């Protein structure tokens, strides 16, 4: 079954074509990776899916329902959450409270205020946050202020905030960026468990091709806003256009 359908999506910013007729489907239970050079439109696509941008053309459907006119909080309510390339953490709050922010993304401001006044609700959400922190292996950091914590921990908190809304589909924008080798191995394991243990479909943007090849069921390669290749990691790796784009990138590095 298809969870997410992107059809003929076009997005321009005053003449800059960020997405050019992009189409693909993410199946339920997949780990689907989106790769491509800097500026190829990966984050723009996430911003279109989660309601930050309104694409000029095309369709985005989640389990048959159109997302193209949804506000970000409505997208979360439908069961899609995301992490950000530039972390959206609040450094002067504890790890627990940073994760709890995600529990309030599904509800209105009035409901949020009511919930903060309701001890039982607050306790339920804290218990859920603890489960998420346990799952991510950061339960020891619960009452620590995020400021000053290692970058790897901050990246996990970003994931935790997306998980606490109990999504069916998670969008992860460069989860391994800035991570060392050991942390990248840990992230690969966590992404696998998000799908296998929590049963969440994963759409991930990543530059680390070793990680992408290891974790993905399918990979879509974007180049200058259009789909260059789409297939299994093996198929994509051998695609002549992909070799050209990625070898070209390395040659200019």
Ligand X SMILES: Nc1ncnc2c1ncn2[C@@H]1O[C@H](COP(=O)(O)OP(=O)(O)OP(=O)(O)O)[C@@H](O)[C@H]1O
What is the closest distance, in whole angstroms, from the C-beta atom of residue 204 to Mg ion in the complex? 12
> What number of CA atoms fall less than 13 Å from residue 93's CA on the CB side?
11
Q: From the list 1, 13, 117, 251, which residue makes contact with ligand X (rule: CB under 6 A)?
A: 13
Site for ligand X in 149-188 (CB under 6 A): none
In angstroms, the Cα distances linking 17 to 13, 40, 41, 50, 229 are: 7, 9, 9, 19, 19
**Short-list 54, 49, 50, 51, CA closest to 13:** 54
Q: Does 82 bind ligand X (CB under 6 A)?
A: no
Length of the chain measured in residues: 253
**What's the Cα-to-Cα distance from 90 to each of 7, 132, 160, rounded to whole Å?**
35, 18, 13
Q: Shortest CA distance to 26 belongs to which of 189, 204, 198?
A: 204
Residue 47 binds to Mg ion (criterion: CB under 5 A): no
Choosing from 26, 32, 36, 75, the residue that interacts with ligand X (CB under 6 A) is: 36
Site string for Mg ion, 207-246 (x = CB under 5 A): ----------------------------------------
Closer CB to ligand X, residue 71 or residue 140?
71
The single residue among 38, 119, 182, 250 that binds ligand X, judged by CB under 6 A, is: 38
Tell me the two tokens of residue 144: 């620590």
The answer to the question of residue 201 lying near Mg ion (CB under 5 A) is: no
Is 40 a residue that touches Mg ion (CB under 5 A)?
Answer: no
Contact 62, 78 (CB under 8 A): yes
Show the DSSP H helices in the chain as ranges: 42-49, 72-77, 95-100, 109-117, 119-136, 151-163, 181-196, 209-215, 233-237, 240-252
Residues binding Mg ion: number (CB under 5 A): 3
Please, which residue, 125 or 158, has the CB nearer to Mg ion? 158
Nearest distance, CB of residue 2 and ligand X, angstroms: 23
Using the minimum distance from each CB to ligand X, give the nearer residue, 18 or 153.
Answer: 18
Binding site for Mg ion (CB under 5 A): 42-43, 85
Binding site for ligand X (CB under 6 A): 13, 16, 18, 36, 38-44, 85
């Amino acid at each position: 079954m298809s969870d997410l359908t992107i059809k003929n999506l076009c997005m321009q910013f005053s003449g800059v074509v960020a997405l050019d007729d992009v189409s693909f489907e993410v199946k339920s239970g997949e780990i689907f990776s989106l790769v491509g050079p800097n500026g190829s439109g990966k984050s723009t696509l996430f911003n279109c899916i989660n309601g930050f941008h309104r694409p000029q053309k095309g369709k985005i459907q989640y389990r048959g329902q159109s997302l193209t006119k949804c506000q970000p909080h409505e997208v979360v309510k439908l069961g899609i959450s995301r992490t950000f390339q530039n972390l959206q953490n609040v450094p002067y709050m504890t790890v627990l409270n940073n994760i709890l922010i995600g529990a309030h993304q599904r509800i209105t401001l009035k409901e949020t205020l009511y919930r903060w006044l309701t001890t039982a609700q607050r306790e339920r959400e804290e218990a859920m946050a603890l489960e998420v922190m346990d799952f991510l292996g950061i339960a020891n950091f619960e009452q620590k202020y995020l400021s000053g914590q290692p970058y790897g921990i901050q990246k996990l908190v970003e994931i935790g905030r997306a998980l606490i809304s109990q999504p069916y589909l998670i969008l992860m924008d460069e989860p391994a960026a800035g991570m060392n080798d050991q942390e990248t191995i840990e992230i690969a394991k966590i992404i696998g468990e998000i799908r296998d243990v929590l049963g969440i479909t994963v759409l991930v943007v990543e530059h680390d091709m070793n990680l992408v090849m290891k974790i993905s069921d399918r990979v879509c390669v974007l180049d200058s806003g259009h789909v260059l290749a789409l297939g299994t990691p093996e198929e994509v790796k051998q695609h002549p256009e992909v070799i050209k784009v990625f070898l070209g990138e390395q040659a200019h590095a």
